[in-house]
Chains A and B, each alone.
Chain A
Amino acid sequence: AQKVTQAQTEISVVEKEDVTLDCVYETRDTTYYLFWYKQPPSGELVFLIRRNSFDEQNEISGRYSWNFQKSTSSFNFTITASQVVDSAVYFCALSDDPSGNTGKLIFGQGTTLQVKP
């Protein structure tokens, strides 16, 4: 069964600390896609990154970086030098619909990140 687990419910850090948000996924398919979304207090969902199962290269975008490891079924997200504006709920999601019909994203439960000044 497909599943996404974000074991960290809440994380609190002080500004400028680095923080890693964990994401572990389960799927039987060899082709799948992984995503991270940010939900700030205003409520909208902001797309951060998409990674397909054949691309295990880590990615860096400014202060954000992602570590994809198929061997451990993990897709972790690190924020370097965190800022107060990073405070949000972060969702990891999996899309593995082999038929390509449902377009369904399977979300983890989310990790609430609080960055204190």
Chain B
Amino acid sequence: EAQVTQNPRYLITVTGKKLTVTCSQNMNHEYMSWYRQDPGLGLRQIYYSMNVEVTDKGDVPEGYKVSRKEKRNFPLILESPSPNQTSLYFCASSRIQGSGYTFGSGTRLTVV
């Protein structure tokens, strides 16, 4: 089954404790992105990647890092999480620009 898999689905952590949210897709897609969803703001792009070793900042990259060492994986790293990073996070992948994204199931992160 074609899918984007995110883990974990839920995470509660404390301020400053480094964490990684994993994302993996099995569709051989070139494009991958991370979005965060906050009430009243819709979804906003954090980082994106066009292919292996090619990543760049989206609209809200502060406090996040990513890497794309393999085509299928695109982890999101929070080196020192803060409460304002409490949000619902989505990973997405796409074959080409405009072709429509497949989204993961989401990761609900709470930073206390």
Contact = CB atoms under 8 A, between A and B. Distances in A.
A33 to B, nearest CB: 4
SS of B interface (majority): strand
B105 interface: yes
Interface in B28-63: 31, 33, 35, 40-45, 48, 50, 56, 58-59
B101 A105 contact: yes
A91 B35 CA distance: 14
A43 B40 contact: no
SS of A interface (majority): loop
A84 B100 CA distance: 27
A25 B102 CA distance: 22
Interface size bracket, A side: 20 to 34
Contact of A35 (B42, B97, B100): B100
Interface of B: 31, 33, 35, 40-45, 48, 50, 56, 58-59, 88, 90, 92, 94, 96-106, 108
Which 6 A/B pairs are nearest by Cβ-Cβ distance?
A103-B31, A107-B42, A100-B97, A33-B98, A45-B103, A107-B43
